[in-house]
Amino acid sequence: MTNLLALVADLPVETVLADAVLIEEGSDPSRMYVLASGSVTVERDGVAFARIDVPGAVFGEMSVVLGRPATATVRAATDIQVHVIENPEAFLVERPGAALSVLRTTASRLDGLTQYLVDVKSQFAEAELEGHLGMVDQILDTLVHHQAPVARTGSARDPEGDHQH
């Protein structure tokens, strides 16, 4: 993640006070943030499920890349400093290595989640709680096999990418 810090070194830094919200669950993607210092919590439906304090951690990338509203709230747990990426798509396209760095972070998070679910499945199997295994199997299957819709590229003459050749 240190690589991402180098890629955003020239971008504005904002100080955000403890308990302030950087990204609100359900909000449209507009900015990405890279943590310079401090700690944030990540919440979904009002439940905090992660605390992140690693400089170089990125937030807001999922909603930007997927073009969907934010799936979680990111809140400053302490006073923090973040690099602000105002035009995330342009940043990812124009800065060599930025997209790869964000992809590595996202892949690392997905890998951690998958490992956690495998551990849960293993614990349930040992405790012979088969009723819950189906749910874990479904989640693992979804994570492994889910493919997003195919992206359509547009042009000035065909902005929606609908033209068939």
Tens digit of each residue's pLDDT (9 = 90 or more) over 119-147: 877 776 666 555 555 566 666 666 555 55
- Say if residue 56 is in the same domain as residue 41: yes
Does residue 150 lie in a domain region?
no
- Say if residue 75 is in the same domain as residue 8: yes
- Say if residue 108 is in the same domain as residue 37: no
Residue 148 in this model has a pLDDT that exceeds 70: no
- Say if residue 132 is in the same domain as residue 66: no
Count of residues in the chain: 165
- Say if residue 77 is in the same domain as residue 106: no
- Say if residue 38 is in the same domain as residue 57: yes
Q: Give the global pTM.
A: 0.73
What Å distances lie between residue 113 and 31, 75, 78, 133, 153, CA to CA? Answer: 24, 21, 25, 16, 31
- Say if residue 17 is in the same domain as residue 56: yes
Residue 21 in this model has a pLDDT that exceeds 90: yes
With contact defined as beta carbons under 8 Å apart, do 106 and 100 qualify? no
Domain count, the chain: 2
CA distance 24 to 22: 7
Does residue 153 lie in a domain region?
no
Residue 60 in this model has a pLDDT that exceeds 70: yes
What Å distances lie between residue 104 and 19, 51, 85, CA to CA? Answer: 28, 19, 18
Residues 62-68: what's their mean pLDDT? 92
- Say if residue 129 is in the same domain as residue 66: no
Q: Could you tell me the residue range of the domain that residue 70 belongs to? A: 2-96
- Say if residue 7 is in the same domain as residue 35: yes
- Say if residue 72 is in the same domain as residue 136: no
Any idea what the CATH number is for the domain that residue 51 is in? 2.60.120.10
Calculate what percentage of the chain has a pLDDT beyond 90: 52
Which residue among 81, 96, 111 closes a domain?
Answer: 96
Token pair, residue 136, equals: 């874990």
